[in-house]
Structure 1
């Protein structure tokens, strides 16, 4: 291999290592900042934002099925039951709308 190829390999390795070190440093600084309590809630906030944008332009039966799924989630705290009840509610409401 030529000197240019070795230089490229070494520079890419240095950049990959630098990215990892930067991630560790930034992660430690965020955990010590005033935003640290928000990190525990971030996955739920992301899911809520994805669901909200998905419901934005949907018909009423989708909103009703989402409300039924939300009620199931609040009562059971079980993801599987929430999905089953939500999909069943949507299927029933969609079928009723076709009649």
Structure 2
């Protein structure tokens, strides 16, 4: 291998290590900041933002199916039943829209 190839490998290794160290330092700083209590809510907020952006340009039957899924989620607190109800509602509503 040439000097340039070894240089590239060492540079990439140093950058990969640096990224990990930076993540560790930044993570510790965030955990010690005033925003630390919000970290527990972050996964739910990410899921809600993904669902909201997915629904943005969808037809009405998708919104109704999402509302039905939300109702099932609130009643059962069960992911499987929520998915089954949402998919079933969407299938029924989409089939009804085609008729």
Relative to the length of structure 2, the TM-score reads 0.88
SS of the residue 1:41 aligns to:
helix
Q: What is the aligned partner in structure 1 of residue 78 from structure 2?
A: 78
Find the aligned partners of 1:82 and 1:6 in 2 and give their Cα distance: 53
> How large is the RMSD of aligned CA atoms in angstroms?
1.5
Give the count of matched residue pairs: 99
Consecutive unaligned residues in structure 2, runs of 5 or more: none
Structure 1 position 39, deviation (Å): 1.3
What does 1:1-99 align with in structure 2 at a 5 Å threshold? Answer: 1-99=1-99
Relative to the length of structure 1, the TM-score reads 0.88
Consecutive unaligned residues in structure 1, runs of 5 or more: none
Structure 1 position 5, deviation (Å): 3.7
